[in-house]
């Protein structure tokens, strides 16, 4: 499916399902496979992707929707857990959803914490120290 020239000759949208049962499949690959095709072909591709969503719901659905041309003893056949993870990643990428879990990257968090600590130290401690020194000098000047 990754080869643009060869994918032109695959006339069955079910190739998406076959490929996903045998391993991970990226959104750009699926989009390239469906691009330049008829509206009917793209509609069939969406139906296959709906079938993928059904297959990843339970292990029974996974087994029931497995293409008959893929034998159970195929060494490349994914387990249900791997298929589910691959299918979820594919569907998320096709929908354009964010891949992260919402957490801040560690490097960015450390940099932000350092910046905040430095700003806090400079703004609070150094300014407080400057005030104390100024007050000390004023008191010393007045006593002379």
Q: What is the DSSP letter of 102?
A: S
Report pLDDT for 74.
Answer: 85
Segments making up each domain of the chain, as ranges: 4-95, 101-144
pLDDT band with cut points at 50, 70 and 90 for residue 101: low
What are the tokens at 53?
Answer: 């969503």
Residue 9 has pLDDT above 80, yes or no: no
Report the first-to-last Cα separation within the chain, whole angstroms. 90
Query: Widest CA span of the chain, in angstroms?
Result: 101
Phi/psi at 27 (nearest 5 deg)?
-60, -40
8 Å CB contact between 94 and 32: no
- The predicted pLDDT at position 1 comes to 52
For residues 110-137, average pLDDT: 83
Paired tokens of 1: 């499916």
pLDDT value at position 110? 84
């Amino acid at each position: 499916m990754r080869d643009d020239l060869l994918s032109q000759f695959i006339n069955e949208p079910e190739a998406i399902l076959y490929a996903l049962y045998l391993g991970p499949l990226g959104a750009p690959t699926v989009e390239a496979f469906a691009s330049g095709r008829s509206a009917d072909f793209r509609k069939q591709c969406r139906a296959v992707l709906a079938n993928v969503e059904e297959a990843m719901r339970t292990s029974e659905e996974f087994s029931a929707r497995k293409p008959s041309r893929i034998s159970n003893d195929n060494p490349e056949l994914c387990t249900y857990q791997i298929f589910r993870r691959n299918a979820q990643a594919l569907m998320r990428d096709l929908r354009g959803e964010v891949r992260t879990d919402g957490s801040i990257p560690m490097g960015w968090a450390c940099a932000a914490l350092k910046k905040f600590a430095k700003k806090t130290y400079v703004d609070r401690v150094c300014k407080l120290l400057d005030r104390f020194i100024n007050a000390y000098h004023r008191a010393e000047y007045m006593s002379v």
